[in-house]
Structure 1
Amino acid sequence: MSSATQSRQTPSVTNDRNTAGTWIHRAVRGVRAAAFWTATVLPVLVVAALIAGTAGRYPAILGGVLALNVVCAVVGHGHSPGR
């Protein structure tokens, strides 16, 4: 008697929840990265606006940019550029 073993292969099944979870995870990572880099660049623009004098002419815009910087810093806090 020969004792040959059959190889069992698991069928490839696409799990819709896993695929949706993957897309959501990628979207969250993208938003977090964009917020991180925006929070990194905005202070440079604020300093440039202060030096150029446009911040004094449009204080509401300056306040909005500073508020946007805070929001981006909070959202992008968990991003690691090296990962």
Structure 2
Amino acid sequence: MEMPEVIPVCHCGNPAKLNTSWSNDKPGRRFFGCKKFGSRFRKPCRFFSWFDPPLRPHSRIVLLGLLKKVRTLDDARKKERRT
């Protein structure tokens, strides 16, 4: 994964963290966000900036198909562990 030459600074004054979206709307698209995001003890500053350009339609379809397969396999594995 290539890193940008300049890492943006979030509203907290800290370097932003590069993350990857795995939502159905923006699968595989990378973005910068506050490094406190997801922490139960700290409130993030809500800084957000896309790193990657939007995916082409064909790439998005392929990635969504792969993501669906991974989720299906994860669900099956979790079901097996419970039995």
Same fold (TM over 0.5): no
TM-score (norm 1): 0.33
Q: Whose helix proportion is higher, 1 or 2?
A: 1
Tell me the TM-score normalised to structure 2 length.
0.33
